[in-house]
């Protein structure tokens, strides 16, 4: 029997910062992680030939976020600006603009008048019907699907209103060396205070009673503690019991399980393509169409893989593709090679390149289908209409014994971010210590 004061299930950002805080406070902490690495939805690969690190998962610090930046400063980890020009490719032309959604001010005005929460898709149909607003409705659906990785038919208007009116697009950062450097700092600090992190340990059954909790992993090992923190992604908690990675509670925690199912969890696929040169800096081959892209940071299109970005201001030959929401969910069962081909075709269409030639220029690639991965089952959380009440339930410990944490339990304007996970993990550590 492996005994600890606090047992933490999941070594993502929320679980690691909770472990770091608790171990530093003198608690005996054991962290169980299903994968063969720490980080969860953070997965940093060192750059090739001394180039910048590449992120298979979380990549940006979206704003001057206090917990993330405070922790980076504490650890002495450097970060740099990732702010760059946004471009759109549509109807054969490139245009540079900070906003691509028509009637944006009118949209915010109508949202501010909304008295009862509904999903954004119904709202757009009710408030902006007819041909006049076709483009606007499409843009909003694409934005909610892409940025929030959400299903517009489920995403809360109130939450989106709050998010859209509090965004700081001018402050975008990347961590030098990647988010993995920060995860390693938390893990090493935990271990330095006698904390234990066990990889390849897949939690399957959790048994609990007031003041006592234990977990049995898939290899039959039992771990026990006075308190347990469940820090796995929301998608894993929502998974059917027969799914790999699913966790069963004994006895059931029915009110909590119901709350978990009422929350939104997105879908996403990320594609990283490393080419022999930065051809996107030259616009389209042949006759130029529209403006010539300069200092391109982010590129939005109507292609099958619609969103792309560079590593600007780093002069890297990595081009990153992104598809979220229902579009990513529909590709859950595709092979990586099939998704790669769709990505290459999208790039070829945008830059008027021959796909055969593009394949020859491809040096390396990664497709990360986070939605298909058993220990993530998706991207990050978004608010449904019922999410605030569900979150209130889940932020209340089960008989001061079981505690839930993760970015899905964060209440603030930085939803779906590493900041959200770090904030929730910090809060739950304080709850446990109280």
Tell me: the pLDDT tens digits for 174-189? Answer: 999 999 999 999 999 9
pLDDT at 100: 67
* pLDDT value at residue 185: 98
Find the radius of gyration of the CA atoms of the chain: 22
For residue range 195-221, list pLDDT tens digits in order: 999 999 999 999 999 999 999 999 999
What pLDDT is recorded for position 252?
A: 98
Of all residues in the chain, the percent with pLDDT exceeding 90 is 84
pLDDT at 131: 95
Domain boundaries, the chain: 2-79+173-263+382-433, 99-168, 268-369
Residue 16 has pLDDT above 80, yes or no: yes
Reported as a single tens digit per residue, the pLDDT across 377-389 is 999 999 999 999 9
- Contact 308/347 with Cβ under 8 angstroms? yes
Across 333-348, average pLDDT:
98
Q: 85-99, 263-277, 377-391 — which is least confidently predicted?
A: 85-99
- Region 43-53 average pLDDT: 79
CB 397 within 8 A of CB 223: no
Range in 33-37, 159-163, 247-251, 381-385 with the lowest mean pLDDT: 159-163
Q: pLDDT band for position 287 (50/70/90)?
A: very low
Selected from 3.10.20.810, 3.30.465.10, 3.50.50.60, 3.30.450.20, the CATH number assigned to the domain covering 2-79+173-263+382-433 reads: 3.50.50.60
Which residues have C-beta within 8 Å of that of residue 244, sequence separation ≥ 6? 374
Bigger pLDDT: 136 or 46? 136
Cβ atoms < 10 Å from Cβ of 126 = 11
Percent of the chain whose predicted confidence (pLDDT) is above 70: 95
Higher pLDDT, 152 or 50: 152
Q: Provide the pLDDT confidence category of residue 290 given band limits of 50, 70 and 90.
A: low
Which position has the token pair 């209440």?
A: 411
> Residue 284: which pLDDT band, with cuts at 50, 70 and 90?
low
- Mean pLDDT (the chain, rounded): 94
The mean per-residue pLDDT over the stretch 264-281 comes to 95
Contact between 353 and 347 under an 8 Å Cβ cutoff? The reply is yes
Q: Which residue has the higher pLDDT, 2 or 384?
A: 384
Instruction: Tell me what pLDDT residue 236 has.
Output: 98
Q: What is 268-369's CATH number? A: 3.90.660.10
Average pLDDT (407-425) is 95
Question: pLDDT tier at 166 (50, 70, 90 boundaries)?
Answer: confident
Span 272-281, average pLDDT: 93
Query: Is it the case that residue 96 has pLDDT exceeding 90?
Result: no
């Amino acid at each position: 029997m492996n005994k600890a004061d606090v047992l933490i299930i999941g070594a993502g950002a929320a679980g690691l910062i909770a472990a770091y805080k608790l171990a530093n406070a003198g608690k005996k902490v054991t962290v169980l992680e299903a994968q063969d690495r720490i980080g969860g939805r953070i997965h940093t690969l060192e750059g090739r030939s001394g180039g910048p690190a590449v992120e298979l998962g979380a990549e940006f610090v979206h704003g001057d976020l206090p917990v993330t930046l405070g922790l980076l400063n504490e650890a002495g980890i450097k970060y740099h600006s990732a702010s760059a020009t946004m471009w759109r490719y549509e109807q054969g032309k490139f245009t540079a603009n900070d906003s691509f959604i028509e009637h944006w001010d009118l949209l915010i005005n109508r949202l501010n008048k909304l008295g009862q929460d509904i999903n954004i898709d119904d709202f757009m149909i009710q408030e902006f019907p007819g041909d006049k607003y076709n483009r606007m409705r499409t843009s909003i659906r694409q934005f909610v699907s892409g940025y929030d990785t959400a299903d517009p038919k489920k995403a809360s208007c109130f939450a989106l209103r709050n998010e859209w009116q509090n965004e700081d697009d001018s402050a975008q950062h990347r961590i030098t060396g990647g988010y993995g450097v920060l995860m390693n700092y938390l893990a090493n600090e935990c271990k330095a205070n006698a904390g234990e992190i066990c990889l390849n340990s897949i939690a399957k059954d959790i048994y609990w009673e007031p003041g006592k909790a234990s977990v049995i992993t898939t290899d039959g090992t039992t771990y026990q503690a006075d308190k347990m923190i469940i820090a796995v992604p929301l998608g894993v908690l929502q998974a059917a019991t027969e799914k790999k990675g699913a966790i069963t509670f004994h006895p059931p925690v029915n009110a909590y399980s119901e709350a978990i199912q009422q929350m939104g969890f997105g879908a996403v696929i990320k594609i990283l393509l490393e080419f022999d040169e930065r051809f996107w800096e030259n616009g389209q081959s042949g006759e130029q169409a529209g403006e010539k892209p300069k200092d391109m940071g982010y590129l939005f299109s109507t292609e099958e893989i619609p969103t792309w970005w560079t590593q600007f201001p780093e002069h890297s030959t990595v081009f990153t593709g992104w598809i979220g929401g229902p579009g990513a969910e529909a590709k859950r069962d595709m092979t990586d090679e099939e998704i790669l081909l769709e990505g290459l075709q999208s790039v070829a269409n945008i830059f008027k390149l021959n796909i055969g030639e593009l394949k020859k220029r491809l040096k390396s690639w990664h497709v990360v289908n986070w939605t298909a991965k058993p220990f993530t089952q998706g991207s990050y959380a978004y608010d449904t209409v019922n999410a605030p009440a569900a979150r209130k339930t889940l932020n209340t410990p089960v008989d001061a014994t079981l505690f839930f944490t993760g970015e899905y339990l964060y209440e603030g304007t930085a939803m779906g971010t590493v900041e959200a996970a770090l904030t929730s993990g910090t809060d739950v550590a304080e709850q446990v210590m109280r």
